[in-house]
Structure 1
Amino acid sequence: MAALPEIASLWIGGRLSWLEQLCLKSFADAGHHVTLYSYAPVGNLPPGVHPGNAAEIFPGEPMLRHARTGSPAIHADLWRLHLLRNTRKIWVDADMYCHRPFDFETPHVFGWEKEGLVCNAVLGLPPDSPTLNGLLDFFRDEYAIAPWLKPSQRQELEAARDAGTPVHMTEQDWGFTGPAAVTWFLRETGEIGHARPQNVFYPVSFKHRNHMIQSRFDIPSRLGPETRGVHFWARRMKPRLEEKEGNRPRRGSYMEGLIAKHGIDPGAAPIPPKARPAAARRDDPAFRAEIGLAALRGEESVGQLCRRHAVDERFVKACRERIEQGATELFRDAAAGGSGT
């Protein structure tokens, strides 16, 4: 039997939470050699996971963080492409659980998240892959305008470029360098034919992610013989666990069973509170009213408002809905600077 492929991931930040420990250890327990790369030492790697120097793959400076969220996801998206060019390892997000060994005999390892979209939470490509090299070439231009965007989005970015104010990749909409980019290039090159069915890596959808931490849902029944991984969608699941669930899944849930299986102690590596940049500004009624009224006027697109005010699309829509639903007089007064007129 051929040796299992090596697995790699990247961690930018401090200590791991128990969720990352669980996922990384699951690959080691399945027989994979697992490397967690980082730019600084990670002090609480789980047993069987090896440290790696991320700078040997791709420099850590400048750190490419999303302008509105502060997330290093853009940097991680580019880092994984360089990993694939320079090694034969399979990339996995640190919130991907290994249900069964990734015993694939092909270097093309990726799958459908949903209809029309390949997720890059698992990504394996040969170094000479046209998709891989197309992505690396495209993102050399940090102000590139993506052909996979909607025509209206492209026109907006082209207008900014022609006006001498091109939009940097860190200021573009969330996910610019992620699954949409990978899917587009896979289609262009024909390598999309290697995409595996949704149930291989994403048997529990983003919409149903919290089913995995609640006891009333039978997750094993959703996993088939073809299932190799289970994505935990940590960007949204971790805040739920930290804020509402006492930092651990509920008793009898699918995820609680995995914690016991792999010997993970949630109390020793709690999920930290989610960072909320500019929270005071976002909570200011005057600021919310300003955003809501601007969105209603429609003189700028939602994307432009997000970039100009460093907020996300959900925040803009919530502000607009507040105005549409008939905000209180106090809220309207705040939009006028508290004059009451």
Structure 2
Amino acid sequence: MTESTRRPVASLWIGERLQYLNQLCLLSHVQQGHPTTLYCTETVENVPEGVTVRPASEIMDIPMNIVEETSASFLSNVFRYHMIRRTDAVWIDCDAFCHRPFPDEGDHIYAGHGFRGALNCGVVKIPREGELIARLLDYYENLPDYPAWWNKNQRKKLDRLDKKQPELPHAVKIYKAERTSFGPQAFTYFAQQTGDYDRAMTPDTLYPVPFQLNDTFYDPHGRVEGWFTEQTLSVHLYTNGTRPWWRKHVPLENSYAWRMARQVGVDPAKALE
């Protein structure tokens, strides 16, 4: 491991156990010299050595009743901006592999992803004070009846939920009507409103492999690195979109996931789903 001398990075884990992809991604930041903190809602039994564990409550309380109605990653969309405001660290999803160190300075680390041009917030650093973070936090803390960017069909879907399940918290109804309304959709919309959209890095910097092709990470004959450029800093592995088979079996020899596990010293067999 290299001595941690670079800017800090941090993430959130809701649950008791990491999968091997999460272990190797967190360790990749440690090996690149980034002090790496994992905020946890409970005791996690297999956090890799070198990763600092802190209680998530240091940043914000996690309403577990909402997590149970949505997903473990849902509240992370709120948590990351509170974390940035409090600590000024770079947010990293637990499935983002550090290919090269992040720049030592700069408050605009985020990029578009996939084929649609929307911004992703899987790796993100924005100014801890300013219009963008203020608008994002205000959106989460004072949810509107409908997100401003929703179309007529999305609004109708929420209206149907209101009638069928009026007891659900409003945040849960928004999630069920449009899953990414707390994540990339919100980040893209408010960055457009504040003019920060134009500061985004190109997709090859943080999301070189499109989400739609994430099976490539497990293909022993694939050429994942063919997507990389000289600008690539992070490689998103998209565990939410990974087929269940890959989460329950060790990666095939010579696949990208297998090679990166060997590179950082993770045994996938000890942390399968």
Asked if these proteins are the same fold (TM beyond 0.5), I'd say yes
Q: Which runs of 5+ in 2 are unaligned?
A: none
**Partner letter of residue 75 of structure 2?**
H
Aligned to 2:101: 101
Aligned to 1:206: 211
Q: Percent identity?
A: 29
- CA separation in 1, counterparts of 2:212 and 2:233? 20
- CA separation in 1, counterparts of 2:51 and 2:243? 22
User: 1:13 deviation in Å?
Assistant: 0.4
- Contact 1:66–1:174 (CA under 8 A) maintained in structure 2: no
User: 1:167 deviation in Å?
Assistant: 6.9
Match 1:219 to one of 210, 220, 224: 224
Q: How many equivalent residue pairs?
A: 264
Distance 1:207 1:160, change over 3 A: closer
Distance 1:62 1:225, change over 3 A: same
Of 148-157 and 220-229, deviating more is 148-157
TM-superposition CA deviations, 1:289-309 (whole Å, max 9, x none): xxxxxxxxxxxxxxxxxxxxx
- CA separation in 2, counterparts of 1:159 and 1:235? 27
Distance 1:107 1:74, change over 3 A: same
- Contact 2:161–2:173 (CA under 8 A) maintained in structure 1: no
Aligned to 1:183: 188
- CA separation in 2, counterparts of 1:11 and 1:159? 32
1:231-310 maps to which residues of 2 (within 5 A)?
A: 231-237=236-242, 239-242=244-247, 247-270=249-272, 272=273
CA RMSD in angstroms, aligned pairs only: 2.3
- Contact 1:169–1:176 (CA under 8 A) maintained in structure 2: no
User: 1:144 deviation in Å?
Assistant: 3.6
Instruction: Please report the TM-score for the alignment, with normalisation by the length of structure 2.
Output: 0.89
Q: Which runs of 5+ in 1 are unaligned?
A: 273-341
**Partner letter of residue 217 of structure 1?**
G
- CA separation in 2, counterparts of 1:209 and 1:160? 32
- CA separation in 1, counterparts of 2:159 and 2:134? 25
Instruction: Compare CA radii of gyration and give the structure with the larger one.
Output: 1
- CA separation in 2, counterparts of 1:143 and 1:258? 42
Aligned to 1:52: 54
| 4+ residue segments displaced more than 6 Å | 158-162
User: 1:266 deviation in Å?
Assistant: 1.0
Instruction: Please report the TM-score for the alignment, with normalisation by the length of structure 1.
Output: 0.72
- CA separation in 1, counterparts of 2:48 and 2:160? 49
